[in-house]
Structure 1
Amino acid sequence: MTHLARRLTAYGSALLLAFGTLTVMSAPSTAAAPAEELCGPGSAINFDRSAFPESPRIDNKWFPLKPGMQYTTLGTVTSADGVHEHKVVHTVTGLTKVIDGVTTRVMWDRDYADGELVESELAFFAQTRGGTVWLFGEYPEEYENGEFVGAPSTFISGLAKAQAGIAMPARPKTDTPSYVQAYAPKVDFLDCGTVFQKNQEVCVPTGCYDDVLVIDEYNPLEPPEAGHQQKFYSAGTGLIKVTAVGGADQEFMDLVKVRKLNAEQFAAVNEQALELDERGYEVSRSVYAKTPRAELDD
């Protein structure tokens, strides 16, 4: 039996995932807004390769990705077949990868349902000189009953009509247009973000925060009853909380651990992430195999 949850992936995007079975939400052709404004008026993707530096440095205060940092979020998923524990371990690696002409930082996420690994994913981020963080793609390997079953939801900006999107604005403000977080029509992936609230007070196991930014996320390809997801970010830390707003399948997650890996742990993480990257060339020959291989920072 499977249970559906919104997937907490790489700090940013939300996608329906059956732990063990991916459920793709196909949409009628009338469901999507015109391609240039997928998330509503003012949401046109304005991607400019020249806006990114040659070496990735992601220090946006709401979305800092410093190599060697690891964040663990823990919570529950409630669906038709009950309540299940959900844990995600997010690790900022020392790897970079060129995607769509931009050098990105590689993040490695491991997603567990009731203690069992259901997804191991590489996600790719870069920050403009102005401070906006972009998501350039994901390579998510899926597992069922401990066995690898494929990576059908892989998307890479610039390939198969996929487009990079904004993971976090440089200076998020309320009452501004929604923005596209990523768009990959071949795998029915479209996430939209809206700056919902600022200066909120939130307590989670790692502490209490009084400077919290709330981003409301949704997929316009899904029916309204699918609900939204809200993510809470603290300056200097990043993601600290995830909640569900409506919808039959609901996920609630809190940041429970933050640590800086020691040299030995960091080296092991980089080695495993490189192995995952290498495997992608066999698993996703039509998409991932068309990218340059990831490289370890000098």
Structure 2
Amino acid sequence: MSKRRTRFTAYGSAVLLVLGTLTVTSAATATAAAAPNPQDLCGRGTAIKFDRTAFPTKPEIENKWFPLEPGMQFTTTGKVVSTAEGERKRTVISTVTGLTKKIDGVNTLVVWDRDFTDGELAESELAFFAETKKGTVWLFGEYPEEYENGKLAGAPSTFISGIDKAQAGIAMQDHPHKKTPAYPQAYAPSVDFLDCAKVLDRDRRVCVPTGCYHDVLEIVESNPLEGDSAGRQHKFYSKKTGLIKVTPEGGDDQETMDLVKIKKLSSSELKSINKQALAQDSRGYTVSKDVYAKTPRAVVAKSSSHSGRSPRNDS
């Protein structure tokens, strides 16, 4: 988990790399040769391998564990129990917009999350995803506006792949299995963001208010940068639905969330959502001048019946 609020469509963890001044000697050279790759962010062999050519021109996301169809809206509710602030109610309304935005050379799909604590808007976030031709979903950045007492307080946790050394990461693997190693879901050193994830199970039965789901995928996320105080999160994904549940494991802030509503927006409702998300995108050029203002503006996607995606096995 990152230090920020947990989005119901995403992830978590972090590593702090401290580089000291080294005297070059034969002994130091030998030690460096034996040291692990500093880019192995979530453990040995987990360096991010980003290839822009792996993504199609149109950002359609059809991964069975992480489907993002424009016009779909998911409402989740739960609570956060904090050692500092006690228990707070939380509601997240996550909407897949009809917008696209080019980030780090890749056309991404825009998801708009509105996060409410005890009934008041606490965060409004634009998140950017794209799926490779083989079916792996990547997270390319986030623009999370923070609100205090109903007023915009800024967006200090904004990160965009390709800016300030931030890197896109894997939001969902194409074929997740328990034997695969942990993987970074995004890395942004300027805001101490590094989400790591590991598959725990692919055969869970989980019940939430929207129903009981079988063959559920369980992923655990951790944040080494925050130490034991951060704890870990378990996230549960159902085929063709996506994230349905979040549970805590240790940590000072323990969050439990359940999917309570799934809605397919009408064309007029989606048009309204697009308008509001575009307004936030435009606002970002003033609120986050050093990061977000460096990106191309989001636009309404052109409809097309052909995705340009290669066929794949969804087993």
Whether the TM-score (by the shorter chain) exceeds 0.5 is yes
Q: CA–CA distance in 1 between the matches of 2:56 and 2:250?
A: 40
Q: Distance in 2 between matches of 1:131 and 1:140?
A: 26
Separation in 2 of the partners of 1:239 and 1:129?
A: 22
Cα offset for 1:14?
4.0
Q: 2:11 aligns with which of 7, 10, 13?
A: 13
How has the CA–CA distance of structure 1 residues 6 and 280 changed in structure 2, closer, same or farther, with 3 Å as cutoff? closer
More strand by share: 1
**Which runs of 5 or more structure 2 residues have no equivalent in the other structure?**
20-35, 303-315
Which has the higher mean CA deviation after the structures are superposed, 221-230 or 45-54?
221-230
Q: Given residue 9 of structure 1, which amino acid in structure 2 is its aligned partner?
A: R
Question: What TM-score does the superposition give when structure 1 sets the normalisation length?
Answer: 0.92
Aligned to 1:126: 130
What whole-Å deviation, never above 9, does each CA across 1:102-121 have from its counterpart, x for those lacking one?
00000000000000000000
Distance in 2 of aligned mates of 1:54 and 1:35:
32
Deviation for aligned residue 1:34: 4.7
What is the RMSD of the two structures over their aligned residues, measured on CA atoms?
Answer: 1.8
One-letter code aligned to 2:18: S
Structure 2: distance between partners of 1:250 and 1:38: 24
CA distance 1:199–1:113, change in 2 (3 Å): same
Q: Shift of the alpha carbon at 1:40?
A: 0.2
TM-score, normalization by structure 2: 0.87
- TM-superposition CA deviations, 1:215-254 (whole Å, max 9, x none): 1011121113421011000000000000001112100000
Give how far 1:9 is off: 1.5
Indicate yes or no: 2:55 matched with 1:66. no
- Following TM superposition, by how much is the alpha carbon of 1:263 offset from its aligned partner in structure 2, in angstroms? 1.3
Q: For each residue in 1:42-79, what CA deviation from the matched residue of structure 2 results, as whole angstroms up to 9, or x when unmatched?
A: 21101000000000110000000000000011000001
Q: CA deviation at 1:211?
A: 1.2
1:145 and 2:149 correspond: yes
Alignment of 1:65-214 (within 5 A): 65-80=68-83, 81-214=85-218
For residues 148-202 of structure 1, what are the alpha-carbon distances to aligned partners after superposition, in whole Å with 9 as ceiling and x for unaligned? 1000000000000000000000000002110000000000101101011111000
- Tell me the residue number matched to 1:44: 47
Q: Secondary structure at the match of 1:223?
A: helix
Q: Distance in 1 between matches of 2:66 and 2:140?
A: 15
Q: Identity across aligned pairs (percent)?
A: 61
Q: How many residues align?
A: 284
Tell me the SS of whatever aligns to 1:279. Answer: helix
Q: Report the CA distance shift for 1:10/1:148 in structure 2 as closer, same or farther (over 3 A).
A: same
Match of 1:247 in 2: 251
1:35 shift after superposition: 3.4
- Show the counterpart of 1:56: 59
8 Å Cα contact 1:10-1:107 kept in structure 2 = no
Larger Rg: 2
